[in-house]
Amino acid sequence: MSKKRKSFFNVLLLSTFSLLAASTSEAKLIQILHTNDTHSFLNNTQHKNDLGGSARLKSLIDFYKNKATDDGVKTLVMDAGDFTEGNIYYMADQGRKAFEIHSEMGYDVGALGNHDYLMGSSELDKILGDLNFKLPLVVANLQIGSQFKNIKEKNCSLQRIHDRRSQNCGYGSDDE
């Protein structure tokens, strides 16, 4: 994981924790499930059956969310981006299938990584317009202009956890 990506995720995570911790009335446990850099590995790999696969990942997310719910713990499921380019599935349709499947995984918030718009920002705008994309995305490293109909400037996403607001924000940086 690049230094820039680690920095982005740390800020995303810190902003989530700081907003959850803002209330001094009562501390409550939350579970955070996190993924990043899945790079269109929609099925498991042939050389390692336990690596990759959207169905397997969805099963794990559901398992840990259900287990936490049974224990009275809320779960926040996050993705830090780079869920498209990197596999043959990306090449087949410029990431459309990866976007479609990623939208159905049960994430509460996701980020667009640099690999998620290698097809170009105009094609990304078309993809987001064509799909019924359910995943709230934060974007920190993309210049958004008025020519786009479907890419909106949105650096933060709000969720409610334990009746408290959680704001997840992405911040861009020129640091390497």
- Angle in degrees, CA 15, 156, 23, rounded to 5: 40
In a domain, 123, yes or no: yes
In a domain, 175, yes or no: no
In a domain, 111, yes or no: yes
Query: CATH code at 38?
Result: 3.60.21.10
Record the pTM.
0.71
Q: How far is CA 175 from the centre of its chain?
A: 22
The whole domain housing 14 covers 3-21+29-169
The count of structural domains within the chain is 1
At 102-161, the pLDDT tens digits run 888 989 888 888 888 778 888 888 888 888 777 777 776 666 777 777 776 554 555 555
Q: Please, which residues have CB within 8 angstroms of residue 142's CB and are 6 or more apart in sequence? A: 112, 117, 121, 151
In a domain, 70, yes or no: yes
In a domain, 176, yes or no: no
In a domain, 11, yes or no: yes
At 45-80, the pLDDT tens digits run 777 766 678 888 999 999 999 999 999 999 989 898
